[in-house]
Amino acid sequence: MSIVKINVLTVPAEQRETLEKRFASRAGAVENSDGFEWFELLRPIEGTDDYLVYTRWRDEASFQAWMEGPMKAAHQGGGDRPKPAASGSSVWSFEVVQQAAPKSQTES
């Protein structure tokens, strides 16, 4: 079964727009990675400053290959890199053990 990686980013209110624009500018950066299945950037609605960056992968090896290749390259750069929008982060890892999808509307 697939694995899920959730990067929890603590983002002060004044940095939310910056974070979202940075993710929007990287649209397409992960979609062609081998083993990639899904991405979502989740904005908090109330009670927290934590954004969740949800990615789903075929297996741990696919995630690690992306981390060591495209992801590592994207986070390296010159001394003029902008300051991070998040003030902290942690990564949660899960294995998918059950899943469900909506039933087709064409079924009778």
Read off the pTM.
0.82
Q: Letter for the amino acid at 20?
A: E
pLDDT for 34: 95
Best CA proximity match to 2, nearest among 72, 93, 101: 93
The domain segmentation of the chain, as residue ranges, is 3-73+85-95
pLDDT for 75: 59
pLDDT in tens, the chain (108 residues): 899 999 999 999 999 999 999 999 987 888 999 999 999 999 999 999 999 999 999 999 999 999 898 676 665 555 566 788 998 899 999 999 999 999 987 655
CA distances from 40 to 2, 31, 64, 76 (A): 16, 12, 19, 23
pLDDT for 27: 78
pLDDT for 108: 55
pLDDT for 80: 65
What letter would DSSP give residue 1? -
Residues 6+ apart with CB under 8 A from 12: 49, 87
CB 4 within 8 A of CB 99: no
pLDDT for 107: 58
Q: Read off φ and ψ for residue 82, nearest 5 degrees.
A: -65, 155
What element of type H or E holds 16? helix 16-25
CATH label, 3-73+85-95, candidates 3.40.50.1360, 3.30.70.100, 3.40.50.300, 3.40.50.1000: 3.30.70.100
